[in-house]
Amino acid sequence: MIETHELTKKYGDTVAVDHLTFRALPGRVTGFLGPNGAGKSTTMRLILGLDGPTSGSVTVNGTPYRRHHYPLHEVGALLEARAIHPGRSSYNHLLAVAQSNGFGPRRVRQVLELVGLENVAGKRAGAYSLGMGQRLGIATALLGDPGVLLLDEPVNGLDPEGIIWVRNLLKALAAEGRTVFVSSHLMAEMALTADHLVVIGRGQLIADTSVADFVAGASNGRVRVSSPDCLRLRQLIAEQAAEVSPIEAGVDGESPAFTVSGLERRAIGDLAFHHGIVVHELTSEAASLEEAFMELTAGDVEFRAHDPNQPADVQVVPVAATRKDLNL
Amino acid sequence: MSATTVPVFVSTVKPQHRPGIVGVARSEWTKIRSLRSTFWTFLVTAGITVGLGCLFALGRTSGRAREPLSANFNAAGFPFNAMFLAQLAIGVLGVLIITTEYSSGMIRTTFTAVPQRGLVLAVKAVIFGSVTFVVSVATTFVTFFASQAILSRGTVKYGVSLSSPHALRIVIGAALYLTVCALLGVALGALLRSTAAAITALAGLLFILPIMMNFLPVSWHRDAIAQWLPSNAGMQIIEKTTQPLQFSPWAGLAVFAGWVAVAFVAGLVLLRRRDV
């Protein structure tokens, strides 16, 4: 279990982590989400005792990291891919790390096999691809067979097969009762991998919730209505003081459609029935994780391209576009 | 969250021995021996010490330079002036041993595995220093015998044997000098963390500062100051006789080692305090 309490880190006037309190519990994958510059990597370094907090505290399994006798046996960490001397082979890299915590060559060969690097173990790491570097980083994290895993963007640079492999590995590790704490900026990946989310923006906690609740909480409450008699239905709904979108023409013989916000799906169905209007589609639009995230962190993005024609506040991504972008 | 029971994780992999100084030593030894650049740098250091040492000896005994040398000629120590280049090569290796961990990000893995940062730096220095000393002793002995053979050619034989006064002290001392140079590199690397900055500082301390001293006015007590400079003090170990305003051989080496100790302690203090 990882536990932070009012954890704060300042660099001069910049507050990287701001009174952050959360827990990552064993037996589940906790996704650590936030826009770039939100303080994810700083938090990870604070957990590992690499950076000292300005104030507040953080413990792993109830003990500050630096006081663990067998650190690699307690916590395995992947902070950055290819954090290895380019002239050293992955076997020797892993051996050097293993030896410092009392593990030997046998364990090194086990983790090399586990991540599928056994055939390139003697090659100089400088020749590795980013994906191979990530696998080596994961092997390093698993060396001590730790109960807590801390992974910073582990799927960066991996091919689709590698992404699925990491996803299944993380789930399997959590199912064994381990604490798996994984940061990512890929919301879709987290939706598939994580059970629980800790979302931060500008160093502050935005949400600490299950994935399902996170999406529901940020749901936009829009209903999509499709009917051959869109004009009349839209007029009736608008009279109920609900907001209606312009009508989209139907494609491939589908009826035209529009979206409604401010009126429940059931109420729209009843309304159509009372006025004898045929309805072909009546669906609540669930916000994607991406959208929910954008909505929650809209005010908390550290770096943003400035568009003078847009108000600087909320930018809602159209659902259709989001789905397509994510290949869901 | 549903109220499913979470299995309690029990690791099946147990460490073979307690982590600590032995484990860290094994780890640092693996790091040093697993880089080809280590081997090549040692080879270059040995090569230029032996090669330049013989060249210096040859220069003193051939052609017009072959005028009678004074009775005070330091035959045993003279070839070791060639260490001016080797000291830089071995010092740079000392720098790289720590700064490449920073530039690659490996340092975060190292300090995650062993949070006792001071222990890591100390063990790193001891292991690297020991290897350097072994290589250096072999190098200085070869340099000594080869250069003395060259000095003994011709009618007037300047070459001396190992049993002559000061010779053994000079040969062992020269190896110690190279070892201290290597450790200066490690200390500067820990202090500055950047390869470029640490190598600049190393060259500045060993090379540039002594040259700059020669351009200062004599009235500024420049000779009294210059004797305290790291390389000036350390190189006294290859001298036969002690001149005024110079340290005796061992005192000079001790002054040099003192510089390194100060840099090392400063590096240790910062290492423990700084974020990585």
User: A2 to chain B nearest CA, in Å?
Assistant: 15
Q: Decide if B112 and A102 are in contact by the 8 Å CB cutoff.
A: no
Confidence bin at B47 (pLDDT 50/70/90):
very high
Joined tokens for residue B107: 């340092």
Which tokens go with B214?
């020669």
Share of chain A above pLDDT 70, in %: 87
Residue B17 has pLDDT above 90, yes or no: no
Confidence bin at A327 (pLDDT 50/70/90):
very low
Burial of A215 (0-12, 13-18, 19+ CB in 10 A): buried
Share of chain A above pLDDT 90, in %: 59
pLDDT tens per residue across span A28-78: 999 999 888 889 999 999 999 999 999 999 999 999 999 998 899 999 999
A156 touches B: beta carbon within 8 Å = no
For CA atoms B114, B119, B122, B123, the dihedral sign is negative
Q: Which helix (H) or strand (E) holds B197?
A: helix B195-203
Put simply, whether A88 touches B (Cβ < 8 Å) is yes
Give chain B positions within 8 Å (CB) of A89: 34
Smallest CA–CA distance from B276 into chain A, residue = A50
The structure tokens listed for B155 are 């009618």
Mutate to test the interface with A, among B5, B96, B112 (most CBs of A within 10 A): B112
Q: How far is A99 from chain B (nearest CA, A)?
A: 5
Cross-chain residue pair A88–B31, CB shorter than 8 Å: yes
pLDDT at site B14? 80
| Residue range A99-104: mean pLDDT, rounded | 93
User: Hey, of A50, A90, A99, A109, which one would you mutate to test binding to chain B, going by the most B CBs within 10 A of its CB?
Assistant: A99
The C-alpha atoms of residue A80 and residue A99 are separated, in whole angstroms, by 21
Residue A310: pLDDT above 70? no
pLDDT of residue A174: 96
- Give me the residue from B1, B100, B276 closest to A85, CB to CB: B100
Contact residues, chain B, for A96 at CB < 8 Å: 27-28, 30-31, 34
Q: pLDDT band at residue B218, thresholds of 50, 70 and 90?
A: confident
Residues of B in contact with A208 (CB under 8 A): none
Highest mean pLDDT among A191-200, A284-293, B70-79, B142-151: B142-151
Choose the closest CB to B11 out of A28, A99, A145. Answer: A145
pLDDT of residue B28: 97
Mean pLDDT in residue range A249-267: 86
Question: What's the pLDDT score for residue A326?
Answer: 37
> How many Cβ atoms from other residues are within 10 Å of residue A311's Cβ?
7
Considering only CB atoms, which chain B residues are within 8 Å of A51? Answer: 275-276
pLDDT at A88 exceeding the cut of 90: yes
Averaged pLDDT for residues A92-120: 95
Residue of B nearest to A68 (CA): B115
The residues, ordered by sequence, that sit 6+ positions from A246 with a Cβ below 8 Å of its Cβ are A258
What is the mean pLDDT of the segment spanning A16-33? 95
Residues on B contacting A at a C-beta cutoff of 8 Å = 1, 6-13, 15-19, 23-24, 26-28, 30-31, 34-37, 100-101, 104-106, 108-115, 273, 275-276
**CA distances in angstroms from A159 to A129, A187, B60, B258, listed in the order given:** 11, 17, 66, 54
Chain B residues whose beta carbon lies within 8 Å of the beta carbon of residue A49 = 111, 115
Residue B117 confidence (pLDDT): 95
Is 80 exceeded by the pLDDT of residue A290?
no
A317 — pLDDT class (breaks 50, 70, 90): very low
Q: Closest partner residue to B13 among A48, A93, A107, by Cβ? A: A107
Q: Do B35 and A146 touch (CB under 8 A)?
A: no
Position A94 scores a pLDDT of: 97
Model confidence over A116-155: pLDDT tens digits?
Answer: 999 999 999 988 988 899 999 999 999 999 999 999 999 8
Tell which residue, A233, A215, A231, has the closest CA to residue A285.
Answer: A215
- Residues B154 and B234 sit within 8 Å (Cβ to Cβ): no
Spatial CA neighbour of B189 closest among B255, B108, B93, B274:
B93
What would the pLDDT profile of B172-211 be if each residue is shown by its tens digit?
999 999 999 999 999 999 999 999 999 999 999 999 999 9
**CA distances from residue B105 to A78, A89, A276 in whole angstroms, order as listed:** 11, 16, 69
Domains identified in chain A and CATH numbers? 2-217 (3.40.50.300), 222-285 (3.30.70)
**Tens digits of per-residue pLDDT, B221-274?**
888 899 999 999 999 999 998 888 899 999 999 999 999 999 999 999 999 999
Categorize the per-residue pLDDT at A219 as very low, low, confident or very high, splitting at 50, 70 and 90: low
Which residue from A139, A74, A108 is spatially nearest to B34, judged by alpha carbons? A108
User: Which residues in chain A (43-72) have CB-CB distances under 8 A to chain B?
Assistant: 45, 48-52, 65-66, 68-72
CA angle B272, A94, B192 (to 5 degrees): 30
pLDDT band at A314 (very low <50, low <70, confident <90, very high): very low
* Cβ <8 Å between A88 and B17: no
In 10 A of CB A276, how many CB atoms? 8
* B101: closest chain A residue by CA: A85
Residues A99, B127: contact at Cβ < 8 Å? no
Q: Which residues contact B18 (CB under 8 A, 6 or more apart)?
A: A69, A102
Is the per-residue pLDDT at B219 higher than 50? yes
